[in-house]
Structure 1
């Protein structure tokens, strides 16, 4: 038995009443920036490792 839409709406209403919309907006912005920073660091790591592999292949030739 899953959670119905009405139960989700009640939970959302309680969370908004407890924290307020400004605080939730700030938490959402912080979470979004953390996720984008994480993705950027993963992409930078992948780029650095692929660049290093290319340099090693060039040195072998």
Structure 2
């Protein structure tokens, strides 16, 4: 027992009355832009960071000489107290 066509039309009419067509159009445009930006960021991330760490790999040491804990670089100076 799902939602039928008439129920969807009634819900759409109520939403139009509450928000108005202009706000819904702006909301749809904003949502579409957000999805477009998210997809673009995912593509850029795949092209830049193609090297993923596998579970059996050793953690990478940063150039600053720190150590990696939970994917964060922690300076040795902080932990020598």
TM-score, normalised to structure 2, is 0.61
Which 4+ residue blocks in structure 1 deviate beyond 3 angstroms? none
Task: Tell which structure's C-alpha radius of gyration is larger.
Answer: 2
| Number of aligned residue pairs | 52
Q: Which structure exhibits the higher relative contact order, with contacts defined as CA atoms closer than 8 Å and separated by 6 or more residues? A: 1
Q: Cα RMSD over matched residues?
A: 1.4
Query: Normalised by the size of structure 1, how large is the TM-score?
Result: 0.80
Relative to its length, the structure with more strand (as a share) is 2
**Larger proportion of helix:** 1
SS at 1:3's partner residue?
A: coil
List gaps (5 residues or longer) in structure 2: 53-81
